[in-house]
Structure 1
Amino acid sequence: MAIKQLLATLALSTLTCAMAQADQLSDVMSKKSLDCGVYADVPPFSAPDPVSRELVGMDVDLCKALARTLGVELQLKPMSVEARIAEVKMGRVDLIFANLAYTKTRADQIQFSDPYYIAKETLVVRAVNADQPKSFFKDKRISSTKGSTSEQSIRIAGANPVTFQDTGSAYMALQQNKVVGLVTNTMTAIKLVNQAGESGVQLALAKEPMALEPIGAGMRLGEPAFLHKVNEALASMEASGEIDAIWDRWIGPNTPYKMVREDKVQSLADLKFDPLP
């Protein structure tokens, strides 16, 4: 009886190992479907269309383009900001496009595709300080949202973060001269500068970003074949101009965000940057 139990245990262990080592690329291609996680409601990346209620946005279009390039159907999986990493780790999605920035902590939990753009932690200041180097802001008070990568970038730059629960409060601190600057993502920074200008306050973007954040798709660790295939697909989407078209549609120069795409798909391993913790 003991031998039978031992054999049964070994068989179960072998099966468990085989399942754990299953090739995700093979799974995706065999089921002919890609489960792609996106934000549930964070425009312009992924949010319900006011009329159709279907999810639309930059990350939605990236999911569609990737599925089309792989030759499989797409299943969109809406999720909260907080759930992004957990959903990938638990295998509830094949990958996520959710404006996901590379950080050391996240890279310990999931793997990242080659970035399709480089986000910047941007410093918003009074216009008279726009040309100051980053070193000028060392030891000075700079606002951000609490617990964000913006706060981390302030600390790394040697400045003193003054944090708030929301961007609006951090912006008011700058308006009231309680801080010399505000750090946020570039899209929000441009919006705040324009908003201030409409009320007669001259703000500007500092010439040096506080930190660089490569943005890529997130996948489970230990899936090299799937990672290679996704990177290959992104390179193909870049070469065809598809990523440029998606960018221009949602956050490009003719949108309220007025962002110019400066960085193309490139190898994450070759990118020179100081990752945030």
Structure 2
Amino acid sequence: MYPDIEPFSTGMLKVSELHSIYYEESGNKDGNPVVFLHGGPGWGTTTRDRTFFDPKVYRIILIDQRGTGKSTPAAEIRENTTWDLVNDMEQLRQKLNIDKWVVFGGSWGSTMALIYAEAHPDRVKALIIRGIYTFRRRELAWFYQDGASFVFPDAYEEFVKPIPETERYDIIGAFYRRLTGNDEKAKLDCGRAWGIWAIMTARLYIDQHALGQIEQNLESWVQKATIECHYVVNSAFLKTDDQILSNVDKIRHIPTSIIHGRYDIICPTETAWQLHKLLPDAEFHLIPDGGHSTKDKGLEEKLVEVTDRYKYL
């Protein structure tokens, strides 16, 4: 990873009457523009996200999507759809006078990167995508209902505790009703459970430090869970279940690197493999010692290696 750096520019872009999104630029003001798309939905950006890119070469642009991070209003689900986020990216690209940019995204960020590229292929220099997710029903069921629960039965048992057994046939819907309801204790309980489940399943070895930080950041976890559940319960507002994979012909000409952890529990490896077969000319890297998180060393190293190869596009 490159050294941590401070932004040379930050701002709030008003993208609707309701929403304003936070953005920042760091690195080389005149460099190769790259936009970082964070995960979740709802997770926001961190200072670490700048460090995947050589700051001497890249103009590094981070965005907190609607309702997340420093964007306002926090955890707002009104006027918050995938298509709103795509339009926000275009508004920001135009504001920053960028013709084309490299698009980098992991997990939900890979979903956004693919959707944006399919909607605006003429604005994408290259795609770097990690932890591939296309929001198909089988992927959602795998993580929230039946699948990951077979690998982490102990953690899953804790995850569903806030939900009565009579509602567990639809875990996503049950969490959504509580996260968007008026019972503040239920919101906190669901935010806590959501965060613990995410952390328990994210890495090859459980991040005990992150687990220990949940109580101190409980309001943030409620915010993340609310936005994420909003997108999950609405299947990311896609028009068809296989919309992303069925439209890859639109991006076949774009230089693309696909990076995925072999043992990614959150985003099943099957999806990355299917995308690889549909885009055979794209680079495909299946990391043998990787889970979901970029903090797993193999994923971290490969992502930096790939961003270095796209420096001078």
Which TM-score band (shorter chain)?
0.3 to 0.5
Greater helix share, 1 or 2? 2
Ranked by relative contact order (alpha carbons within 8 Å, sequence separation 6 or more), the top structure is 1
What is the TM-score when the length of structure 1 is the normalising length? Answer: 0.34
What is the TM-score when the length of structure 2 is the normalising length? Answer: 0.32
Larger radius of gyration: 1
